[in-house]
Amino acid sequence: MGVSGAGKTTIGQRLEKDIKYKYLDADDFHSQSNKEKMSMGIPLTDEDRKPWLESLRDAIKEYLINKKGLVLGCSALKKQYREILRSADPDYKWESYASAVNFILLDVPAEVLITRLNNRAAEGEHYMPASLLQSQLDLLNIDDSERIFRVDATLSPESIVNTIKKMDQFQGCFLSSLC
């Protein structure tokens, strides 16, 4: 998880190769109207995000039911958004934070994010402009009780992936069907 430019796609694709879990990019689940809105520099509202989050929840649920590993690259900026995603676990109790769905924040300073987003925009690789970064940073809210794991995403992609694979919370997870 993380704001635009944190490296979710890069790390998710590398994890897919390394641990053989399917990688899904949450951006692929946005409606065309959401993409158009963002490309015009208009931040999404909670109302815009709700159907998107519900479709992500349903995709996660499918992988959980079929006992298949999944890595999802998703901003998941607010606790209420993460709660929707956690609810893909049929045994999840709201606000307990004990779910088969776990979150890793790719933590990056704003100045690094701006550089990354400007480079990506110059290459024409993404619909989200750097002008929306501040709105995402303003929304990013993490409660320590959620037990969200943080990784320094200014490290090389290889180092980030290795750090994730070595996290105590996931030991054995990538070798079995699910945590």
- For residue 149, the cross-strand partners are 104
Let me know if residue 153 belongs to a domain: yes
- Check residue 6 and give its pLDDT: 95
CATH of the domain at 20: 3.40.50.300
Let me know if residue 41 belongs to a domain: yes
Average pLDDT of each block of 10 consecutive residues along the chain (179 residues)? 95 95 96 92 92 98 94 96 97 94 95 89 69 88 92 97 86 54
Let me know if residue 2 belongs to a domain: no
User: How many domains would you assign to the chain?
Assistant: 1
Let me know if residue 45 belongs to a domain: yes
Let me know if residue 131 belongs to a domain: yes
Let me know if residue 1 belongs to a domain: no
- Check residue 10 and give its pLDDT: 96
Q: Which two tokens stand for residue 119?
A: 């480079």
- Check residue 118 and give its pLDDT: 85
Let me know if residue 3 belongs to a domain: no
- Check residue 177 and give its pLDDT: 47
Which of 118, 113, 94, 123 has the alpha carbon at shortest distance from 8? Answer: 113
- The CA distances from residue 74 to 10, 77, 111, 134, in Å, are 12, 9, 21, 17
Let me know if residue 39 belongs to a domain: yes
- Check residue 84 and give its pLDDT: 98
Residue 100, domain extent: 8-175
